[in-house]
Structure formats: C-alpha cells, structure tokens
Amino acid sequence: MGITGIYLFVIGCCVGSFINVLNFRLPLGQSIIYPSSRCTKCNCKLKWFDNIPLISWIVLGAKCRSCKKKISISYPLIELTTGLIFCANFFAYPSIYDQLPKFLIIFSGIIFSSILIVLAVLDCKYFWLPKNITLGGLTLGLIFSLIVDLFYNLSQFSYFINSIFAAFIGFIFFYLLSLLGLKIYKTPVMGGGDAKLSALLGSWLGMQGLFIAIWLSFFAASILVIFGLILKKIKRKQKIPFGAFLSLSGLIVWQFGNEVFMRLIFSTFNW
C-alpha cells in the first residue's frame, strides 16, 4: 500500500493540475493543449519548475514569479484533493464491481473520480456541466461495464444491461423532475446537465448505486440550504450547484459501496 499510495498520490496531483487547466480554459473556449501554462494575471509563460503540483505553489509563496500577483489557493487544493481521492481508490469498494481485481477497481476509479472532480468544480464555479464531459463519462461507463462482461462475466452482459438501464432511469428521473418543476414554478428548477450527470452515475454505479447517490445528493443539498437560510448565507430561490452534490455523492458511493447506505436508508424510514 505504501509505494502504491505514493504513486497514486503523485499521479492524482498531476491529474489535479490538469483539471485546473480544464477548469480555467474550458469556460473560455480555449484549447486545453496549447499554449503551455501561463500566469492568469500577467500571461507570463510558466517555467517547468514553477508548474510542479503543490510544491511550486509553496516554494513561490503563492505568488507569480514574474508579476508577484497572488495565486489562488484553489489550485493546490484541487491538486491535493485529487491526489487524496486517487489514494482512496486503493480502498474503494464499489458494490457493482466488488469481485473485480484490485488493479481494475483502482484504474476505473481513477477515471470515474477524475470526471466527477472536473464536473463538480465547473458546476460550483459556473453552474455548468459540459455535455462533452458528461456524455463522454457516460460512454466510458458503458464501455467499462461491457469490458467487465466480456472478460470477467463470461459474456452474460448483466453488468452492461444494468449500466444501460440505470443510465436511462437516471436521465429520465431528472428530466421529468425538471419538467414538473417548470410546470409548477414556471421556471427551470433543474439544469439539463443534471440529467446527463445522473445518467453518467448510473452507467458507473448501477441501479442501486444510482438510487443511493441521488438520495445522498438531495439529503446533503437540503442540509446545506437549511443551514444556509438560517445563517443567511443563502437567499431564497438562489441557485445551488446540484451537480456538485451529485458528483460528490457518486464518489462516496463508489468508495464505500451500497450496503452501508442501504442500511442507513432503511433505518431512516423504519423499513
């Protein structure tokens, strides 16, 4: 675990650095490949030693070497968070794939968590869940379930069918919820990206995992809104980045599995 954990953390920090690039350039419609990394304040090209995840931010004292303007703490936080989540994938227990070899769970968890981190940050910052990312993540989830069926399930296609069905239900649920909210409140209550993100979660988590992730996201969002209103940090009718709650819930379900949450849900409703 020690050496593997270090590798996963380093890889995660590097991926987190790339996620920072995505989160900055995608909303601006810029290429994520060219040009190379630059200071967002003075546009000075960054040297390789000023672009090392976590370390460069600390060494530079959170300031650009050229213009001395402050570098946001969000950059190292995203790198650190991604590194820790990658490490956590070593212990992940996704119920739908709990019989798979550990290396495959780690690899798939890295892909799944990377997609959800990008979407969570973009939704928090811009209330935006890019269609290319949600549909790309959905496609990868379906492909992964098909690969598992072909190589580990003797081509019975039960994983693939489960993923397709869960993705369809996830999309329909939020699509109908959006239509209902529009009819009642005469204004959109859910973004179109939430339905696609729910489909993405279904493709990776299966039907039961999707149900738990949706329950967790609504529960967490409700708690935030209640306390936000009490503390007057949130105004009535203020938008909240629900996609971020869905993404976080999906990560939690992938990490801890379904059983612990099913027991909690059943005990909550006294079933």
**Tens digits of per-residue pLDDT, 222-240?**
999 999 988 888 887 788 8
C-alpha distances in angstroms, 52 versus 7, 83, 87, 118, 170? Answer: 15, 13, 19, 20, 39
DSSP string for 98-112: TTS-HHHHHHHHHHH
User: Average pLDDT of 159-165?
Assistant: 95
Among 9-23, 33-47, 84-98, 124-138, the least confident range: 33-47
pLDDT per residue as tens digits for the range 166-188: 999 999 999 999 888 888 877 77
Rounded Cα distance, 187 and 179, in Å: 10
For position 250, what pLDDT does the model report? 97
Percent of the chain with pLDDT over 90: 68
Span of 6-15, 41-50, 245-254 with lowest mean pLDDT = 41-50
- Per-residue pLDDT at 155: 67
Mean pLDDT estimate for the chain: 91
Q: What's residue 266's pLDDT?
A: 72
pLDDT at residue 40 is higher than 60: yes
- In Å, what is the CA distance from 110 to each residue of 51, 58, 241? 22, 26, 23
What's the predicted TM-score (pTM) here? 0.93
* Cα distances (Å, whole numbers) of residue 200 to 136, 139, 174, 250: 9, 8, 12, 10
Q: What is the pLDDT of residue 13?
A: 96
pLDDT tens digits, residue range 132-154?
999 999 999 999 999 999 988 77
pLDDT over 70, % of the chain: 98
